Homo-oligomer: A and B are copies of this chain.
């Protein structure tokens, strides 16, 4: 491995000069710089990041923690983070948390041992106190998809309530007045989305009856078994004699499973029942009928979050404290029928 000393020897200058050339900082004579650069190129010298991190105490690393990378939503977070990181020549480290707060803490500690102070954390279950402690210790910690009021300037999140409202607004515009909601009491998102839907219909004087909402699973580990849950949810709605023309699903994955469950009991989408999703994943336009949904700009958000983190640790000037709230948007496809009133 060729070191800074080797280059210095060959170029007949001191290591400090090579260092200055490499970093493009400090005063170096034009000819001298050219000479050194030539040797660097010829020898294929690349600085040792470990030595660099050791002395400068910064590692040019971005760490991301998400529940499970094989899910496209979280893979998108990784994708976006890498895109933004690479623009600043940062490398990306990643860990799966499996939605376990202990894993999250563990991952973050590991990152820090590597000198990584830019961390993008997707945590739905970590306690606010723990996260506040972390934020104090880690200048570049940014939360994605979670809003913590005390840490507002570090949260990159989506307006789920508006998303819910958009859903409701669109369904209303298509003539739907009786809505069912199928969700899962996993985190706050679904609660906010439901709130948005309710708010909208409330404002139209149409309250949504309790029996039209399914959000509790009879079994424990639903996450790995959305399909089964959706079969249950559909059955449950009909068992309760709920009156609805459209189902609002927590997200696209659930929406697709609900469409399948409906199909299996002979209901057609959208002819008999309309369905709406949330996220706008790939599957939303690959399923049939193509899913009308709310777009969650997750790649953009994760790029933004990464840039924000980098800014917080890199920029000398103070950053304007502000919120980082993204808005979802409606994507109309084929899963909602227009009802003539």
Most buried by B among A91, A112, A256: A91
Most buried by B among A75, A79, A112: A75
The answer to whether A71 and B75 touch across the interface, beta carbons within 8 angstroms, is yes
Q: Give A74's nearest chain B residue, CB to CB.
A: B75
The interface-forming segment of A124-132, A204-212, A282-290 is A282-290
CB A5 to nearest CB in B, in angstroms, measures 14
CB A157 to nearest CB in B, in angstroms, measures 20
A51 within 8 Å of B by Cβ? Answer: yes
CB A133 to nearest CB in B, in angstroms, measures 12
A176 within 8 Å of B by Cβ? Answer: no
Most buried by B among A80, A94, A227, A260: A94
Q: What is the number of residues of chain A that contact chain B, defined by CB distance less than 8 Å?
A: 50
Near B by CB (< 8 A), chain A positions 74-114 give: 74-76, 78-80, 82-83, 86, 91-96, 109-114
* CB-defined contacts of A68 to chain B, threshold 8 Å: 79
The answer to whether A109 and B78 touch across the interface, beta carbons within 8 angstroms, is no
The answer to whether B75 and A113 touch across the interface, beta carbons within 8 angstroms, is no
* CB-defined contacts of A286 to chain B, threshold 8 Å: 227, 253, 256-257, 260, 283, 287
The answer to whether B59 and A50 touch across the interface, beta carbons within 8 angstroms, is yes
The interface-forming segment of A41-49, A178-186, A316-324 is A41-49
The answer to whether A91 and B71 touch across the interface, beta carbons within 8 angstroms, is no
Near B by CB (< 8 A), chain A positions 48-72 give: 48-51, 53-54, 59, 68-72
Copies of this chain present in the complex amount to 2
CB A249 to nearest CB in B, in angstroms, measures 13
Cα of A93 to Cα of B90 in the assembled complex, Å: 11
Cα of A311 to Cα of B62 in the assembled complex, Å: 27
Given contacts A75-B69, A76-B70, A287-B287, contact A95 B110 (CB under 8 A): no
A115 within 8 Å of B by Cβ? Answer: yes
The answer to whether B86 and A78 touch across the interface, beta carbons within 8 angstroms, is no
Q: Mark A235-266, 1 if CB is under 8 A from B, else 0.
A: 00000000000000000010011011001000
The answer to whether A79 and B96 touch across the interface, beta carbons within 8 angstroms, is yes
Going nearest first, the 6 A-B pairs with the smallest beta carbon separation are A75-B75, A70-B79, A50-B53, A70-B76, A69-B78, A69-B79
| Cβ contacts A to B, 28 pairs, < 8 Å | A46-B109, A46-B112, A46-B113, A47-B113, A48-B54, A69-B76, A69-B79, A69-B82, A70-B78, A70-B80, A70-B299, A74-B75, A78-B94, A82-B94, A82-B96, A83-B96, A86-B95, A91-B93, A91-B110, A91-B114, A92-B93, A92-B94, A92-B95, A227-B286, A257-B286, A259-B288, A260-B286, A287-B287
A47-B113, A69-B79, A71-B72 given; name 10 further pairs at CB < 8 Å. A49-B114, A50-B53, A54-B54, A70-B79, A70-B80, A72-B75, A83-B96, A86-B95, A92-B94, A287-B287
